[in-house]
Structure 1
Amino acid sequence: MVATRCNWQGLQDFCYQVFMKAGLPEPSAAIVAESLVEADLRGVDSHGVVRTAIYLKRIEAGMIDPHSQIEKVSESDANVLVDGNNNFGSVIGRRALEIAMEKAKNNGAAFVGVKGSNHFGTGAYYALKAIEQDMILLVMSNASQTMPPTGGVRPFIGTNPLAVGVPSGEELPFILDMATSVVARGKIIVAAQKGEDIPTGWAIDKDGKPTTDANAALEGSVLPVGGPKGYAISMFIDILSGVLTGAGFGKYVHNMYDNWEQPQNVGHLFIAVDINRFIPLELFKARMDQYIRELKQEPKAHGIQEILIPGELEYRRTQERKANGIELPQKVAEELAEIGRRFGIDFSKASF
């Protein structure tokens, strides 16, 4: 299948113009476009510009309200509950992050819960923003049903993601961004779009049998990472993001692809930590550098050239794709080109 190589800035500008034409306020269009392209740069293609079409479809169907007011429902010194009122997930997420960091600067740490949200992109997008402000961030989100509880057959919980960002000094920062499934469901969607099989162990079909057929997997369930451990982690993320905040949980987080009658009502939780409340920032960064350097100097297993830290592969991929372009599958490129024609925007300007 032929791929289209795009300049990342051109692709981001294309998406920005598309969302502006779709009626988003300018700041929101910029955030959504940046979030999508950031995912593609890091190699998380399942959360990148491939989501443009479904985002637009949900706006047109009234399932996302890009003009709703994001509001604080309750607030104390270090805790805030935010109602996104069904705006874009990444727009709500950025606002919740800003609140969390401001509260953490004033109080040392902050917990910001979110209800009434939508798919908010990658957790790393927010972790990187927090690292720029020299803060530690933990962010989690629930998602619609795609994964069975251990011992079950049908989906009950989502592939609920967890991300952690920790700044460092001269070394790369620590960035963990993981789904609680063996693989993000979005990767199976991409495989189905490409007509490719998936590895054994990623998913089961609707009858609970292992499958390598991406389409059968989409009708069935993805599997939790680490078996019962991944299931338990996904469950606690659903509790903190959904049950605690008043957002949907379990079957009450609605699927963005299948449910055209109800908003998603996704929930998130942002936890920001001001490092200076523990030890001086520069000392912390020096200690992080020491930790990372000593870890990377550990003896290597046979055939291993280098020990990497979480986020390092994605950093390198970002640098490579910024220099050489982002490859989009033919189907995705054609879809974006058609969207461009609909809005009077030339997609070819984004490609090399």
Structure 2
Amino acid sequence: MPGLRQHSGRVVRRRAPGSSERRLSTNPIAFGIPTYGALDFPIVLDMATCQVANGKVRERRKQGHSLPEGWVVDDEGQPVRDPAAFAAGTGALQPLGGQVSGYKGFGLALVAELLAGIVGDTTVIGQGDPERWSNAAAFVFVDPLRFTTKDGLRASVSALARHVEATEGSEAFGPGHAATGDDALLPGQPEWETAQRRRRNGIPIPPEVAASLRDHADEVGVDVPPACSRSSRHRPRPVHPLERHRCRE
């Protein structure tokens, strides 16, 4: 059954059009469409309504990488490249559309904020205590078989998939710094392909995440799987920055 989800948020991270001030959260939206066997995976789009999700910025900070231009800007509209500076309050996330058409992403965020607040019967940004964290969600489901048949939906999905797969790539047009891969893909396809690799090869855990898990395990007295621990104390061994721990039970 196709579904739509909107999320509200209290932590402001993205600027408003025509301003450098942080006014809204990342306000993600998500859509899911079944394919009834036309594909190996459902069509699933889950995205922030700003240029990039805050998790991408946090990931860059943990990895010690700078931020690509276009993600975060300061009060003068200049790129903020240091993710630690952003975490400390410098700059704001660009709304989806950036400097050219950020009003579109900001509009999507406002709709997500309001719908989630209304359906969740809770406050929105601008109401209540700004220091109190909250997160509401709205879900809308539609029965496609009231409008078409499974065969009709399969035919539509298959035709669209073939059309996208026939797209010729160009080195002049990359998919974006936060995208997975270089090809035009269907929403949900990268995640499905990743899931297949994980089932075959296990889940890679970045060294800093593995170290944090071991520290928390020590604190609460929980044993981690032997494959994730190099000693009985769960302390991380020295690793190359590019190395990834693989944890498989």
- Return the TM-score normalized by structure 2: 0.75
**Partner residue in 2 for 1:142:** 8
**Partner residue in 1 for 2:125:** 250
Asked whether the 8 Å contact 1:192–1:214 carries over to 2, the reply is yes
**Among 27, 35, 38, the residue aligned to 1:170:** 38
Asked whether the 8 Å contact 1:170–1:289 carries over to 2, the reply is yes
1:188 Cα shift? 1.1
% identity of equivalent residues: 28
- Are 2:103 and 1:228 equivalent residues in the alignment? yes
Amino acid at match of 1:164: F
Q: 1:227-279 CA distances to partner (integer Å, 9 max, x unpaired)?
A: 12111111111111125543232255878xxx5xx3x2311110111111112
Measure the CA separation in 1 of the matches of 2:75 and 2:207.
Answer: 29
1:156 Cα shift? 1.0
Measure the CA separation in 2 of the matches of 1:275 and 1:205.
Answer: 45
Asked whether the 8 Å contact 1:204–1:223 carries over to 2, the reply is yes
Asked whether the 8 Å contact 2:169–2:183 carries over to 1, the reply is no
**Among 195, 199, 202, the residue aligned to 1:322:** 199
- Are 2:85 and 1:216 equivalent residues in the alignment? yes
Asked whether the 8 Å contact 2:5–2:140 carries over to 1, the reply is yes
Amino acid at match of 2:194: R
Greater per-residue helix proportion: 1
- Distance of aligned partners of 1:333 and 1:217 in 2 relative to their CA distance in 1, 3 Å threshold: same
- Distance of aligned partners of 1:160 and 1:320 in 2 relative to their CA distance in 1, 3 Å threshold: same
**Among 218, 236, 246, the residue aligned to 1:341:** 218
- Distance of aligned partners of 1:184 and 1:149 in 2 relative to their CA distance in 1, 3 Å threshold: same
**Partner residue in 2 for 1:240:** 115
- Are 2:161 and 1:292 equivalent residues in the alignment? yes
Measure the CA separation in 2 of the matches of 1:202 and 1:193.
Answer: 17
Structure 1: 5+ residue stretches without partners: 1-134
Max radius of gyration: which structure? 2
Asked whether the 8 Å contact 1:138–1:165 carries over to 2, the reply is yes
Amino acid at match of 1:233: L
Amino acid at match of 1:325: G
Q: 1:45-100 CA distances to partner (integer Å, 9 max, x unpaired)?
A: xxxxxxxxxxxxxxxxxxxxxxxxxxxxxxxxxxxxxxxxxxxxxxxxxxxxxxxx
Structure 2: 5+ residue stretches without partners: 174-181, 229-246
The alignment of Structure 1 onto Structure 2 pairs a total of residues equal to 211
Amino acid at match of 2:29: L
Larger relative contact order, structure 1 or 2 (CA cutoff 8 Å, min sep 6): 1
**Partner residue in 1 for 2:52:** 183
- Return the TM-score normalized by structure 1: 0.54
1:270 alignment partner, SS class: strand
1:239 alignment partner, SS class: helix
Give me the CA root mean square deviation: 2.5
